[in-house]
Amino acid sequence: MALTEETLADLALSRSALDRVALERRRPEILTELLDDPRTRVVEVRGDRMHVAPGGGTAGSAGSATDDGLRLVLRAPEPADHARLGLLLGRDGDRTAYVGVVTQAADGEVDPAQDGWLTLRQAGEALAPLDAGVFTTALALANWHATHRFCPRCGAPTGPAQAGWVRRCEREGSEHYPRTDPAVIMSVVDPDGRLLLGRGAHWPEGRFSVLAGFVEPGESFEAAVAREVAEEVGVSVDGARYLGNQPWPFPSSVMIGFEATTRETALTIDPVEMAEARWVSRDEYRDLLRSGTIRTPSGISIAKRIIEHWLGQTVESVVPPGLATGF
């Protein structure tokens, strides 16, 4: 699915510049060697946060509101890293290796409020492509390890293998790979060019976005688009065109973006999933943003980019940065 001017370029979390060096993972000693090498760059994952500092990056996301970039704080390996969960994330253009280490409560000193430890939602847009890829990959892998400590075949404990890219059953040796759950996210546009916006059943007043949902087993992306729209608002779409995709490690998704059209405008919402849904014209959308009646999805989300693709301009060109975003 090549990028063209018709698709969304430079999605905040799809900018990774890392070589993932998949073949190196097979050598059982690779992590030990890298953690003994002072040239290796180590990044710590604490919960869902990583240590960042000002500077060193240019925000690469189109329409970004961030002038001053952020960079990940990297360090040399330390002896204690050998006992931590290690993740070989990849190498940069100079062949420098990047290893994530997961530090948890058992290591002490975990203070989410500590200065400079940010979530990917907070930092992602302001990181340069390399650092965005490091954070996104490390978080996705750490999330998977945290929830797959037991074998799905026999229930025995599993342990990390292949430099953090496999978990192996300690009883019968079966290997289990990191999972990624695909979800489709789509604009739905009516014959008058109006966009369908929905508010999730548990979202606060004023929080609206385009519709989204997980792809089910045995289902194509396009079929998932049609099913989700029909389920949530009772509308049949005529077709769906691919717009772009990005990893979304909250905790383990990849979001595949589409734009869909429909000739039906009567909405029948599913109250289990939706609190409300409405059609908005471009003029109405700009007015709702300026008046603060609705807020738009956060800067790193593909949802924001899909809305801007429909709107024909960035949200920040309608309202000052920070006023309209925040989820």
**Residue ranges in contact with Zn ion by CB under 5 A:** 151, 153-154, 156, 169, 171-172
Which of 172/181 has CB closer to Zn ion?
A: 172
Which of 62/156 has CB closer to Zn ion?
A: 156
- φ, ψ of residue 283 to 5 degrees: the values are -65, -45
Write down the least CB distance from residue 87 to Zn ion, Å: 22
Instruction: Provide the Cα torsion 123, 323, 300, 11; round to 10°.
Output: -130
Q: 275: Cβ–Cβ under 8 A, 6 or more apart, which residues?
A: 199, 200, 201, 202, 203
Write down the least CB distance from residue 166 to Zn ion, Å: 13
Write down the least CB distance from residue 167 to Zn ion, Å: 10
For residues 242 and 182, give the distance between their C-alpha atoms in angstroms, rounded to a whole number.
14
Which of 97/151 has CB closer to Zn ion?
A: 151
Write down the least CB distance from residue 170 to Zn ion, Å: 8
For residues 199 and 49, give the distance between their C-alpha atoms in angstroms, rounded to a whole number.
28
Element (H, E) at 133: helix 129-147
Determine how many CB atoms are found less than 10 A away from the CB of residue 120.
Answer: 24
At residue 211, the 3 state secondary structure works out as: strand
For β-strands 97-103 and 41-46, DSSP reports them as parallel
At residue 64, the 3 state secondary structure works out as: coil
Write down the least CB distance from residue 159 to Zn ion, Å: 11
Which of 151/294 has CB closer to Zn ion?
A: 151
Which of 36/175 has CB closer to Zn ion?
A: 175
Write down the least CB distance from residue 72 to Zn ion, Å: 35
Q: 178: Cβ–Cβ under 8 A, 6 or more apart, which residues?
A: 140, 141, 144, 165
Which of 53/154 has CB closer to Zn ion?
A: 154
Write down the least CB distance from residue 31 to Zn ion, Å: 23
Of 59, 265, 216, 249, nearest in space to 142 by CA: 249
Which of 3/156 has CB closer to Zn ion?
A: 156
Of the CA atoms within 13 Å of residue 213, those in its CB half-sphere come to 23
